[in-house]
Structure 1
Amino acid sequence: MGDFDVDWLRLRGPADVRARAADLPLLLRPHLPKRSPLKVLDLGCGTGSNLRALAPVLGGAQSWLCLDADTDLLDRLADETHAWAEASGFDWDATDRRVTGAEPHLTCTPDLNCTLATRRFDLARDLAELPIEGIGLVTASALLDLVSETWLAGLVSQCAKVQVPILMALTYDGRVAFEPALSLDREVIEAVNRHQGRDKGFGPALGPGANGRLAILAAAQGYWVEVRTSDWRIRRSERALQTALIRGWSRAAREEVTASDQAGIAHWEAVRLAAVERGCSRINVGHRDLLAIPRRA
């Protein structure tokens, strides 16, 4: 899926929250710089889901700089974070755009004191200008499968120069499993994965191979790398998310096959959507989270 509008981000949100590898932020914490506040650079931040997932786990004083090229998403980030803070039992200061939470809290150790700032930034065009000096953590969610080899190598090189840890969440890895299974499932997803390699604005996209390439590039720059699966396990009741995925996959697959094969994919879509409507469809979508720690950090 390449459409990162507000509706799509909200639709995928619960699956994202369930899927994240919970141990990687805990492994990261001892390797973060001791200076306070921790400065976090969030790439392609959308409406702030990465902040909302990580800030309570990292705890303490934090200052997030959230970058995205989409001003509509950036404009919504504060409101989305405010709503999340209230629902999670944190305090929100609209003047400072600050989330605070005192111990004890189920998800926050130690006290949370997190400010957020947003900046419109075109990652595809302006990577060389990335504001990385003084940053203690570079992170992103659902970004890497969209970028090119050249772009990713440039990012890793910049991070290595300043010895900053990298935490990348929810990178699609090409694995999809359906219940019930259909004979065309494999053919459709193979076509989708070919489509994922098209240019998404960063050059030819790495698609499902992005996480593996990041692991290799980071290790070559002296990082210690940990990878975890973070698969979406989409429930029968999550019909809207399943419907959006199936329709999006069908469109992408039809763009990758001959005209004679498009009718089969359209039929596959209709059968899959009927199963969703009956409440008997489940989908697992493969993702991976990656943590890279500089060996001298």
Structure 2
Amino acid sequence: MGDFDADWLRLRAPADSRARAADLPLLLRPHLPKGQMLRVLDLGCGTGSNLRALASALGGEQAWLCLDADTDLLDRVAGETQAWAQASGFDWDASNQRVTAAEPHLTYTPHLTCTLATRRFDLARDLAELPLEGIGLVTASALLDLVSESWLAGLVSQCAKVRAPILTALTYDGRVAFEPALSLDREVIEAVNRHQGRDKGFGPALGPSANGRLAILAAAQGYWIEVRMSDWRIRRSERELQAALIRGWSGAAREEAPASDQAEIAHWEAVRLAAVERGCSRIIVGHRDLLAIPRRA
């Protein structure tokens, strides 16, 4: 999609939450420093979905620095975090922007104290200035398919220098499956995947190859790699999300297609949207999560 306004982030949030690989934070936890505050750097944080997904699983004392170039999204992080904390039965200290769970819980050990800070930061322009000092985890969600090879190599190199683990979530990998299927599905998604390689502000985008490139680059820097599939499985009832995806894919495919194919793609979109409206459409969108842990020296 490439559209990361607050409405799109809200729309995709349930699919994101269901899709994430729940075991990767648990695999990471034994490799984090014992008895120390975990400082987390969240790249392209949006409204703070990574914090809400990971904080409880990681547990203990945490301090998150959430970076994004969009001030409108950053302005929403505290409110979204407060709503999540209260819905989860946690305490929210607005003056210190801190989530606290005083009692032990089965999903994390021993307790959770998570402090939030946000900063406007242009990842595309200022990668070399990333505030990595003291950072114990670098994380990002739905970001890597937008970045270039050189940008990703620079990020991995910087993380390796400070021996920071990397945990990325929901990187699109190019796979889409529809139910019911149409004859033009493959051609449309192939065009969408070509479109994904266009410059999204970071240089020519890696698109569906991003997760594989991250694994290779991180392994070359001495990281141990774990990858999990984290596919969206979009339900028949999630009509608004399905419609947004179909319209976005159709638009991207038309930008890639010759004039002779425009009417056929428009027909594909109309048939797909009709199936959504009837409540008989399901879509799987391929994503992958990746955990990279630096090997012991």
Q: Normalising TM by the smaller chain, what interval?
A: over 0.9
Q: Which residue of 2 aligns with 1:80?
A: 80
One-letter identity of the residue aligned with 2:293: I
Equivalences for 1:93-242 in 2 at 5 Å?
93-242=93-242
Indicate the RMSD between aligned Cα atoms, in angstroms: 0.9
In the alignment, the residues of structure 1 paired with residue 269 and residue 209 of structure 2 have an alpha-carbon distance, to the nearest angstrom, of 26
**Farther off after superposition, 26-35 or 6-15:** 26-35
Q: What secondary structure, in the 3-state scheme, does the structure 2 residue paired with 1:178 have?
A: strand
The 2-side partners of 1:281 and 1:103 are apart by: 43
Alpha-carbon distance between aligned partners in 1 of 2:247 and 2:189, rounded to the nearest angstrom: 12
Whether contact under 8 Å (1:140, 1:169) holds in the other structure is: yes
Deviation of 1:181 (Å)? 0.2
Find the aligned partners of 2:106 and 2:185 in 1 and give their Cα distance. 40
Q: Which amino acid aligns with 2:218?
A: A
CA apart distance, 1:37: 1.2
What is the CA deviation profile of residues 38-80 of structure 1, one whole-angstrom value per residue up to 9, with x for unaligned ones? 0000000000000000000000000000000000000000001
CA contact (8 A) 1:103 1:109 kept: no
AA at the equivalent of 1:87: A
Other-structure match for 2:275 = 275
Query: How much does 1:103 deviate?
Result: 2.9
Q: Secondary structure at the match of 2:126?
A: helix
| Secondary structure, aligned partner of 1:204 | coil
Q: 1:102 offset after TM fit, Å?
A: 2.5
- Are the equivalent residues in 2 in contact too, given 1:225–1:292 (CA < 8 A)? yes
Instruction: Provide Cα deviations, 1:133-174, integer angstroms capped at 9, x if missing partner.
Output: 110000000000000000000000000011110000000000
Distance 2:280 2:274 in 1: 9
**1:38 equivalenced with 2:54 (yes/no):** no
**Quick one: which amino acid aligns to residue 98 of structure 1?**
R
For residues 65 and 74 of structure 1, the distance between their equivalents in structure 2, rounded to whole angstroms, comes to: 11
* Contact 1:101–1:108 (8 Å) recurs in 2: no
Q: Structure 1 CA distance, aligned partners of 2:121 and 2:33? A: 25
Task: Report how far residue 106 of structure 1 moved.
Answer: 4.9
* Distance apart, 1:35 and its partner CA: 5.1
CA contact (8 A) 1:172 1:207 kept: yes
Aligned AA (2:199): D
Amino acid corresponding to residue 208 of structure 1 in structure 2: P
Q: How many residue pairs align between the two structures?
A: 297
Aligned-pair identity (%): 88
CA distance in structure 2 between the partners assigned to 1:133 and 1:85 by the alignment:
28
Over residues 77-99 of structure 1, what are the superposed CA-to-partner deviations in whole Å (9 max), with x where a residue is unaligned? Answer: 00011011111111100000000
Does 2:57 correspond to 1:62? no
1:11 is aligned to 2:30: no
- Quick one: distance in 2 between partners of 1:11 and 1:104? 32
Unaligned runs of 5+ in 1: none
1:295 aligns with 2:295: yes
* Contact residue 63 and residue 116 of structure 1 kept, 8 A: yes
